[in-house]
Structure 1
């Protein structure tokens, strides 16, 4: 292995407080990073799109009548935003030009294997939603009804394909649109008509806990790099597939953990975060061999980013870390105020989430939802991360967008 940062990095982190340049309070959890342009930042959170300048000052606020939680897109002079009720297109002055109607909603799961009893319940961990991908004169997005192609000029539906409930953002390649679904399948669709070119079905863990419904689902937007597509699942696997055929090239299994974040490619290495595995992982692109394992104090859901050879990752414990692949050094750059106040309550002494006891006055599902919501709120968990090469932008569970100087 080229570099490993093991438990001593977790127990004795090099903490350097990075400079918080500014923060902006939105109206809802910042589950998706803002769109960064030369005209500022466009953040979709709560029930609005917030246009900020690079100093965090609000330039304009475009209100919507529904929740939005995906990164907006600007293409051919249109501002495209995917919300609960479909895809919206706005002009530069904020006027709505068209609306392609569809209906999104939470992931609903059978409660028995979660310990919630009989019935169908909303998954409290499934807070991300599909963004918009564009190519030429077409916009693509996904929701509870599947995957859609929409004409940019008019908002007319070009095609719809039932890919099951799909909360990942479509990835557009030269010859296919890739959509990863909660039904545990990755679809390669024809951009022209939505025809299924191929379908890859991910495996599920075997053994004692194989029947748990929580292993089901491709919940992460795939990563397309050259002729290969990289795909993480809740089912503990990370796959490399041939983009042209869906043929499996290699797979890596992580014991008893979801793949927590989408993957990022840098220096012939694939980087991504684990959920209960509490680590940032690096794998060689060609072989899948493990090259980096950087222990984390908590779950990683936001995709990592890199600037000048340094890897940045953030956790649900409200912490931001910098990792140097060449030396294996990891240091903490930032911690949210809420995290500093509640850290021992939600993080075990040796690392890992410390879930509070279930509230006996609530139903099992309600108690689980409360556990998750209290953790997110009291840690001000970092749900999204992006960069413009000079600053890092952190989106938190309490609706804050933070700008950190690198």
Structure 2
């Protein structure tokens, strides 16, 4: 389950594949609705409606799953060519899409055609801006909508009119690492905190920018590693996970100094969460860890059953992903997709993590949702 669930009035709303579901807090199904297209997004509730972005646009349901209105747009996977032959192909690591953000009666979301603003009450389009393929959830504050695009730019848009107020382009690796289009793209939802925003990208850089005009306050480069997860600000420290960097990073929000570098056995794509003074992060190896910033104690709290069964197959001794050989009977792209998919499914990889009312919700790559309560 690649997008976290939404908890509202003791009901969990979640979407996976072509199904929208409502669950009780005990995990019992209350209702489910078959969607006309795929979704990888978290539902949002506004104006008594349940809003969900799908590959055919933004859909609004009542709280029993009946479709009320739909705003049509076109979405699809991020296309790249990483040496797979002629043409572009679906990125095997692009699992997340834009969820919806709501402010002042407008719903904002991104798609393959850019960024949209839609009136919540009836689905009427308010504006559209071409921001390229935009798969990040918009961050909205102080009249500014911030989105990231696969064209390697971050945009600040007018919430009222959709005009581009500013744009920021990330540098990319050079030298022997340069020239690969896998370094391009703001694929992680920006996090607004006061007058600033925090965001990482595939370019190996993590940024603190001004919300007003997009100027860079500070930035940090991580060698040969995508920034894996969305950020979390907790007690003046901004935390985020790395992919190949195999770490949870914590930086002082004012200076950018790295205060915490918590080594991880595998890639981190799920955003870290805080419950009280404890931080939690999860890995594609199917493991959930706690980390206490004061004592700097890290502890594995949970491991999926499939992770225990396949750990030696997919995790290197000392940490890091152990990729299985590509299947020579498939095309290069098909083999790459199979290589990633097999790892995710065999490990029950944790691809989303969220917290509500002291409960952690773990979304697994096989579509399951687990609820886990930290020790009191």
| Aligned mate of 1:61, from 29, 32, 36 | 32
Distance 1:137 1:392 in 2: 30
1:100 equivalent to 2:100? Answer no
Match of 2:188 in 1: 220
Aligned to 1:157: 125
- The worse-fitting range, judged by mean Cα deviation, of 31-40 and 348-357 is 31-40
Q: Distance in 2 between matches of 1:92 and 1:294?
A: 41
Distance of 1:362 and 1:96 partners within structure 2: 40
State the match for 2:271 in structure 1: 303
User: How far apart are the structure 2 equivalents of 1:62 and 1:121?
Assistant: 30
- 1:357 counterpart residue number: 325
Aligned to 2:3, what secondary structure does the other structure show? coil
Residue 70 (1) aligns with residue 41 (2): yes
SS in 2 for 1:345: helix
Q: State the shift of 1:115 in Å.
A: 2.7
1:248 to 188, 199, 216: 216
Question: Helix, strand or coil for the counterpart of 2:176?
Answer: coil
Aligned equivalents of 2:199 and 2:46: distance in 1?
27
What residue number does 2:145 align with? 177
Task: Please give the residue correspondences for 1:323-402 in structure 2 after superposition, counting only pairs within 5 Å.
Answer: 323-402=291-370
Aligned equivalents of 2:64 and 2:275: distance in 1?
Answer: 33
Q: 1:134 aligns with which of 81, 96, 102?
A: 102
**Separation in structure 2 between the aligned mates of residue 362 and residue 61 of structure 1, nearest angstrom:** 36
1:62-94 CA-partner distances (Å, limit 9, x unpaired): 221211211101111111111110001112333
Residue 286 of structure 2: aligned partner: 318
Q: 2:162 matched to 1:194?
A: yes
For 1:26, the equivalent position in structure 2 comes to: none
**CA offsets, 1:160-182, max 9 Å, x none?**
00000010001111120001111
- Residue 48 of structure 2 is aligned to residue 80 of structure 1: no
Does the 8 Å contact 2:31/2:64 carry over to 1?
no
Q: 3-state DSSP class of the match of 2:336?
A: helix
Q: Provide the C-alpha distance between the structure 2 equivalents of 1:356 and 1:97, rounded to a whole number of angstroms.
A: 46
Q: CA deviation at 1:361?
A: 1.2
TM-score, normalised via structure 2 length: 0.98
Quick check: 1:50 aligned with 2:21? yes
Mapped contact 2:271–2:353 kept (Cα < 8 A)? yes
**Paired residues, what number?**
374
Q: Determine the structure 2 residue equivalent to 1:35.
A: 6
Q: Distance in 1 between matches of 2:240 and 2:195?
A: 19
Q: Could you tell me which residue of structure 1 aligns to residue 116 of structure 2? A: 148
- Counterparts of 1:39 and 1:75 in 2: how far apart (Å)? 16
Higher mean displacement: 117-126 or 375-384:
117-126
SS at structure 2 position matched to 1:64: strand
State the match for 2:60 in structure 1.
89
Q: 1:199 aligns to what SS in structure 2?
A: strand
Q: Which residue of 1 aligns with 2:261?
A: 293
Kept in 1: contact 2:3–2:352 (CA 8 A): yes
Give SS of 1:158's match.
strand
Moved more, 126-135 or 66-75: 66-75
Alpha-carbon distance, 1:383 to partner: 0.6
Q: What's 1:27 paired with?
A: none
Provide the C-alpha distance between the structure 2 equivalents of 1:187 and 1:259, rounded to a whole number of angstroms: 18
Secondary structure of 1:221's counterpart equals coil
Change (3 A) 1:391 1:93: closer
Instruction: Report the TM-score when normalising by structure 1.
Output: 0.91
Matches within 5 A, 1:111-122: 111=81, 114-122=82-90
